[in-house]
Amino acid sequence: MTLNDKQNGGKRPGSGRKVGSGLYRENTTVMRVPDSQKPIILSFLDAYAKKQRLDEIANHLDRVGEFTQLAQASEALHLPLYQSKVPAGLPAPADSDEASRMDPNGYLIDDPSSTFFVTIQGESMIEAGLIPGDKAIVNKKKQAAIGDIVLAMVDGAFTIKILAKQKNGDPKLLPANSSGQYAPILIQGQMQFSVWGVVTGSFRRF
């Protein structure tokens, strides 16, 4: 063994970057390319890296579908709202006295000009009361805060999750499903990320 070997120690088994942990999630190689084609190749590699990231988190993304704008403003509905609470167990006599009247549009929608709907797909948010087929109400002007349920875009795909923060301050998206099927989505430097609105409620038709 030479003195240089003793000082440097040589290459240790298992050292270096782990396979699949790089930008492209696979081994890379060095090659020469024409200067004129460099922007095109870099653009292609950027798109390829985004696809690799999206494929990696696809099982945890639970994309939403069917964006729907609010219909033309209609007349307010003032329907009876009875005072008695209705149990989900034993039946109770109906209360004949109306406590007030309620407009369901006003109850569900804070700002009609900033509101749209999306259809829930997947079960990543079932413990927040959002199940497949529900219409989530999204307010695009409400400022998102940590702990809010948000409609976010991750590398070109939409998803609804709880907005949280990583230890380094970067955002992360949390599911509301304790089955272990859905993992948090950690937003990293190379990823495109934006919040499109805050989910303020939902509704479904039986």
Here the tokens at position 160 are 């609804």
Is residue 11 predicted with pLDDT exceeding 90? no
Q: Which residues contact 110 (CB under 8 A, 6 or more apart)?
A: 139, 142, 200
Where are the chain's structural domains? 32-77+111-203
Residue 109: Cβ within 10 Å count:
18
Report the predicted TM-score, pTM, of the whole model to 2 decimal places.
0.67
Return the pLDDT at 198. Answer: 97
Which CATH code fits 32-77+111-203? Answer: 2.10.109.10
Task: Please name the residues in contact with 104: beta carbons below 8 A apart, sequence gap of 6 or more.
Answer: 77, 79
Q: Are 195 and 143 contacting, i.e. CB atoms less than 8 angstroms apart?
A: no
Residues in contact with 173: Cβ distance below 8 Å, sequence separation at least 6, in sequence order: 150, 152, 154, 159, 161, 162, 163, 164, 184, 185, 187
43: its two tokens: 């653009």
Catalytic residues: 124, 161
Digit-coded pLDDT (tens) for 148-201: 999 999 988 899 999 999 999 999 999 999 998 899 999 988 888 999 999 999
